[in-house]
């Protein structure tokens, strides 16, 4: 069996996919405010930049860049997932527990890819922004409210009609299509 090793690069940029345990759930968009708070608190505690993000009903994709002297992306994702889960539980939402009594909202692991260069960054950001269309949630990427595409359009980096046609290739850690 091949042993998986994560690539820890201080100051690196990483593409992540984090997925709920129940792929039929819509809890991430139903409680997007709590997820934003979890990101905000984590960024205040352990800085990082969100370069691109999309929140879908049952998973999220994000490109995160860490400070120059830091490579602990796992700790940040663990903190975001934990804060979101505890906020959700505190609000009275029903969250199942595993055999050890731990909350079982998220899949235990996450998928990560180290961004290698500008073209890799652009490919991953495009994938993130096109993902709601890929999953049949909207006809055009700009129609999805939980996406950094809106920030890219405001900054003039992409036109509002970006992704209206065409296909972004790659699976990026998602199960079956």
Active site residues: 146
CB distance 161 to 167 below 8 Å: no
Contacts 24+ apart (CB under 8 A), 113-117: 113/14, 113/15, 113/16, 113/172, 113/173, 114/7, 114/9, 114/12, 114/13, 114/14, 115/12, 115/13, 115/14, 115/15, 115/63
């Amino acid at each position: 069996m091949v042993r998986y090793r994560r690539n820890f690069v201080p100051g690196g940029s990483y593409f992540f996919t984090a997925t709920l345990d129940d792929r039929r759930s819509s809890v991430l968009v139903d409680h997007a405010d709590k997820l934003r708070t979890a990101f905000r608190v984590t960024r205040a505690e352990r800085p990082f930049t969100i370069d691109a993000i999309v929140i879908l009903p049952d998973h999220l994709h994000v490109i995160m860049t860490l400070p120059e002297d830091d490579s602990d992306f796992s700790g940040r994702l663990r903190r975001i997932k934990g804060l979101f889960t505890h906020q959700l539980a505190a609000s009275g939402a029903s969250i199942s527990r595993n055999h050890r009594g731990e909350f079982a909202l998220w899949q235990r692991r996450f998928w990560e890819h180290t961004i290698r260069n500008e073209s890799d960054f652009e490919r991953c950001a495009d994938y993130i922004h096109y993902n709601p269309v890929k999953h049949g949630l909207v006809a055009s990427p700009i129609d999805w409210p939980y996406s950094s595409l809106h920030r890219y359009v405001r900054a003039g980096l992409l036109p509002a009609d970006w992704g209206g046609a065409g296909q972004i290739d790659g699976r990026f850690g998602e199960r079956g299509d």
